[in-house]
Amino acid sequence: MGLFHRKATNTSSPLDNASVISSENIEEVNRRKEAQSQLNELVLQFIPEGVVVIDSNLNIRLINPAAANMIGKSKEEIIGIRYDSSIKILDKDNKPVSEANDPIQFVYKSGQMGETRDYQIQTNNSDRITPVSIIITPTNGANSSLVVTFRDITQQLKEESEKNDFISTASHEMRTPVASIEGYLGLALNPATATIDARAKAYLDKAHESSQHLGKLFADLLDTTKMDDHKIKLHYAPCEMYSLVKSIADGQAPNIQAKGLQYQFGGVQAEAAGANHKIGQLIYASVDIDFLREIVDNLIENAIKYTKQGFINITVTGDDANAIIAVQDSGIGMPESELPHIFQKFYRIDNSDTREIGGTGLGLHLVKQRVEEMHGKIWAESTLGKGSTFFVSFPRMDEATYTQAKFVYDNTKQQAENNKLLEN
C-alpha cells in the first residue's frame, strides 16, 4: 500500500507537484523569517547600545531593553507612539531640543545618515541625564523609517576630560621653562647683549626656531583642551563680514608679500573660487570676532607655509543662507584622499614637500573647533601641485535682523562700559 501511494504521488500532474513544492517553499520561507525575526529580537535584547526603530510617520515601532532603560519607559508604553512624546533629547546646555535642532528631524527630512555626540537623553520621571553618541540611519532616503542608536558615553567623556586636564596642566607648566629658554636664546642672538661667531649664531638660530615651535605646540594644546572642555566662552557680535575679514586679511599682507607671493582680496582667481556668489556685497553674520580673527589668520598662515610661489587670495561671498569666506592659494596642494583627514588632531600629510615644513598638526583642528563652535562649517578643495582653497561658512543674517541686533549689541556694550565707570 505504501508503494502504491508513493507511485500514485509520483504520477500526479506537473501542476500538482508545483503546487506542493510552492506550498512547501512558502512554509519554509515563513519558518526562516520567523527564525530570523526571533534571532534579531534576541540580538537586540543583549546589545548594550539603545536601539529604536522609528517608522515613516515618526512613531516608534521597535525598541530594545537598553533604549527603554535609558528613556525610562517600558516597551509597551512606547511602541506605536510618536518618538518625541517619549524620547527627551537635550542639547549641551541641558535644554530640550526644538524641531529645528532635533537630530532625528534633520535626518528624517534630509535622508542623510547622521552621527553626533552633542546631545543627551533625559530619563522620564527622573533627573538622570545621559550624554550619548547618536547614530541615525534612514532606511530609504527622506521621510523614510529610521534606525536610531544611542550609546552612553558618560565614561568616555570622563576619561577624555581627565586626559584633557592632564594635557592642559602639563602644557601650562612646560610653557614657563620654554619661554625662559626662548628669552635667553633671544639675548644670545642679540648683538647688543652678546658677541658670537657666525657658526654659533647658526646653531642658536636653529635652537631659537625649535623653542618657538615648542611654545606654539604648548599654546595650541592648551587651546585644544579648553575647546574640548567648553571652557572658552564665546562673545557673539553682529558683523559686516566683508569689511571685517578684509581688515584681518590685510594685516597678513606683509607676511604674504615677504615670501614673494601676490596678495589679493577678491581677485580674479578668488572670484572663480566664489563662483555663482556675488563679491563685494554687504554680508552680515553673528560671530565671535576674536575666534574669527584666529580662524582667518590660521588659514592664511597655513596658505603662506605651503605656497612657494604664486598667489594667496581671500574673498567673502554670500548665498541666500550663508556668509562664505574662501582662502585660496597656488601652493603644493594635496591629494583628494587626504581631504577627509586634514582637520583631525595631530594629522599631517607626509610627503617630500611637507617634511621640510614645520607644524604642530593642530592648526586646522583648532580652526575646525572654532568654526563649529560658532555653528559654522569648514571644508577644503585641493589638487596636488595646483593649490588649495579652504572655505568657511556661517549662517547669514538679513539686513533688518542685523540692524536690530547691532542696535541691541551696541546699547548693551555701552551700558556695560557705563556700569564699569560707575564701579570705578
pLDDT score recorded for residue 265: 92
The residues facing 237 across adjacent strands are 287
Could you tell me if 320 and 397 lie in one domain? yes
Q: Assign residue 141 the CATH number of its domain.
A: 3.30.450.20
Which of the 8 DSSP states describes residue 386? T
Could you tell me if 67 and 200 lie in one domain? no
Could you tell me if 24 and 163 lie in one domain? no
Could you tell me if 201 and 264 lie in one domain? no
Would 411 be classed as within a structural domain? no
Q: Find, among 223, 249, 239, the residue nearest to 287 by Cα.
A: 239
Domain count, the chain: 4
Could you tell me if 222 and 89 lie in one domain? no
pLDDT score recorded for residue 269: 43
Q: What DSSP letter does each residue of 215-234 carry, written as one string?
A: HHHHHHHHHHHHHHTT-SPP
Could you tell me if 221 and 244 lie in one domain? no
Residue ranges making up the domain that contains 382: 236-405
Report the alpha-carbon distance of residue 327 to residue 325 in Å, rounded: 7
Could you tell me if 190 and 310 lie in one domain? no
Q: Assign residue 243 the CATH number of its domain.
A: 3.30.565.10
Q: Among 125, 152, 179, which residue terminates a domain?
A: 152
Parallel/antiparallel/unpaired status of strands 129-138 and 262-265: unpaired
Report the alpha-carbon distance of residue 235 to residue 229 in Å, rounded: 17
Could you tell me if 75 and 15 lie in one domain? no
Would 255 be classed as within a structural domain? yes
Q: How far apart are the first and last CA of the chain?
A: 116
Would 420 be classed as within a structural domain? no
Could you tell me if 259 and 401 lie in one domain? yes
Cell numbers representing residue 397 in the block: 543674517
pLDDT score recorded for residue 299: 95
Would 417 be classed as within a structural domain? no
Would 170 be classed as within a structural domain? yes
Could you tell me if 118 and 88 lie in one domain? yes
Could you tell me if 144 and 204 lie in one domain? no
Please list the ranges in the chain whose pLDDT falls under 50: 1-18, 20-21, 268-276, 278
Which amino acid, residue 5? H
Would 410 be classed as within a structural domain? no
Report the alpha-carbon distance of residue 47 to residue 39 in Å, rounded: 12
pTM: 0.58
Q: Among 228, 257, 278, which residue terminates a domain?
A: 228
Would 419 be classed as within a structural domain? no
Other CB atoms within 10 Å distance of the CB of residue 128: 11
What is the residue whose three cell numbers read 516597551?
A: 75
Could you tell me if 177 and 243 lie in one domain? no
The residues facing 150 across adjacent strands are 50, 134
Q: Among 203, 228, 253, which residue terminates a domain?
A: 228
Would 16 be classed as within a structural domain? yes
